[in-house]
């Protein structure tokens, strides 16, 4: 299957599951392919045939964008260089959850979350520690008795009841012993934090020197500005209360800039985020599909955040993202 066909299939699956899906981010470099929203759930999805192509820089960017946009970063892929991704298993690359298309279908269309996750050493599941302890006590079994049944140490059983996860083999043994479900699903939409490696949130990249005057203006009027590295926009900005967020692009107004502005508008509509594109000259254009075009001289004269919002409302089309 070509990557283009895979992107089309994943997009169709998300739409079948009730998601509003953005236009494909078809301009490089790109940290994600599509944004998708269903109710309050927002996804930033990278779609790959071979997930080994997903590198650390892209993973860091997706995690940062997920934090700024209240979204779950996610990779949907077919295989590694060594094997096909298994259905029903959550993998991780650089702190980002990775699913096969079949697992994503089960999660989003059939609403059956994965129970298994891959980690160094094999496949694991979340043990519901309270249910396990209750089942053991109902049988009137000691920790030692259960340890003997499983062929593990008493200390290991105690750790299971304290919340340590178990291998698939041990979980299967436990459920057969007690004839009851003892596992809980992987909460992929919250980033699977309960099983993901505890990697710290990556720091923001440095500001592009060409963008420093614009970042200075946005900071001066009260925005917290986060530069991006591989997104179709240069920064994500949020006000001090995180009530207003904005995607910002900046370059000469070229054909490529117009494409970026359209992608930003589409992503903004999905993530409910305003988008602006700062240009040297707008050539009598006020917006591109909802992304407000603002000339550099104009933005440098902005006095405060309300002044900026008024300028955006004046430029953006009605179908654009809310300012």
Question: Per-residue pLDDT for 190 more than 70?
Answer: yes
pLDDT given at position 317: 57
For residue 178, whether the previous peptide bond is cis, meaning omega lies within 30 degrees of 0, is no
List the single range of 176-190, 260-274, 305-319 with lowest mean pLDDT: 305-319
Q: What pLDDT was estimated at residue 323? A: 40
Domains along the sequence of the chain with CATH: 3-114 (3.40.91.50), 123-184 (1.10.260.40), 209-315 (3.40.1350)
Q: Is the pLDDT of residue 193 over 50?
A: yes
Residue 319 has pLDDT above 50, yes or no: no
304 has a pLDDT exceeding 70: yes
Span of 41-45, 61-65, 118-122 with lowest mean pLDDT: 118-122
Q: Please tell me the distance from the alpha carbon of residue 323 to that of residue 320, in angstroms, as a whole number.
A: 9
pLDDT at 76 over 60: yes
pLDDT given for residue 320 in this prediction: 42
Q: Are 234 and 260 in contact (CB under 8 A)?
A: no
Q: 124: closest CA among 191, 188, 71, 196? A: 196
**pLDDT (tens digit per residue) in 89-104:** 999 999 999 999 999 9
Calculate the dihedral angle through the C-alpha atoms of 72, 243, 227, 191, rounding to the nearest 10 degrees.
-10
- pLDDT category, 201, cuts 50, 70, 90? confident
Residue 131 to residue 137: CA distance in whole angstroms: 10
What pLDDT is recorded for position 321? 42
Instruction: Determine how many CB atoms are found less than 10 A away from the CB of residue 1.
Output: 10
Instruction: State residue 196's pLDDT score.
Output: 64
Q: Mean pLDDT of all residues in the chain? A: 91
pLDDT: which is higher, 283 or 277: 277
CA distance 139 to 132: 11
Say what the pTM is.
0.89
pLDDT of 114-155, one tens digit each? Answer: 999 998 889 999 898 999 999 999 999 999 999 999 999 999
pLDDT at 316: 76
Look at residue 260 and tell me whether its pLDDT is greater than 60. Answer: yes
- Mean pLDDT across 242-250: 89
Mean pLDDT throughout 207-231?
Answer: 93
User: Where does the pLDDT of residue 195 fall: very low under 50, low under 70, confident under 90, or very high at 90 and above?
Assistant: low
């Amino acid at each position: 299957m070509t990557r283009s066909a895979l992107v089309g299939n994943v997009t169709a699956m998300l739409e079948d599951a009730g998601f509003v899906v953005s236009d494909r981010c078809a301009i490089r470099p790109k940290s994600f392919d599509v944004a998708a929203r269903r109710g309050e759930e927002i996804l930033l999805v990278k779609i790959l045939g071979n997930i080994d192509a997903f590198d650390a820089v892209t993973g860091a960017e997706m995690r940062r964008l997920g934090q700024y946009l209240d979204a779950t970063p996610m990779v949907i892929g077919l295989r590694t260089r060594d094997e096909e991704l298994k259905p029903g298993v959550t993998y991780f690359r650089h702190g980002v959850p990775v699913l096969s298309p079949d697992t994503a279908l089960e999660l989003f269309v059939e609403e059956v979350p994965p129970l298994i996750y891959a980690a160094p050493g094999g496949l694991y599941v979340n043990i519901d520690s309270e249910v396990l302890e209750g089942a053991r006590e109902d049988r009137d079994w000691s920790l030692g008795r259960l340890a003997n049944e499983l062929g593990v140490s008493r200390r290991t059983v105690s750790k299971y009841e304290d919340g340590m996860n178990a291998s698939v083999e041990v979980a299967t043994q436990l459920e057969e012993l007690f004839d009851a479900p003892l596992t809980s699903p992987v909460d992929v939409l919250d980033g699977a934090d309960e099983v993901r490696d505890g990697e710290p949130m990556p720091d923001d990249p440095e500001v592009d020197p060409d963008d420093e005057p614009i970042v200075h203006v946005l900071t001066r009027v009260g925005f917290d500005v986060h530069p991006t590295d591989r997104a179709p926009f240069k920064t994500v900005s949020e006000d001090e209360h995180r009530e207003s967020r904005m995607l910002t692009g900046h370059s000469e107004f070229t054909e490529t800039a117009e494409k970026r502005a359209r992608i930003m508008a589409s992503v903004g509509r999905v993530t409910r985020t305003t988008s602006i594109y700062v240009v040297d000259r707008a050539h009598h254009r006020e917006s591109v599909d909802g992304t407000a075009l603002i000339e550099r001289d104009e933005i440098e004269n902005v006095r405060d955040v309300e002044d900026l919002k008024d300028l955006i409302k004046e430029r953006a089309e009605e179908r654009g993202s809310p300012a």
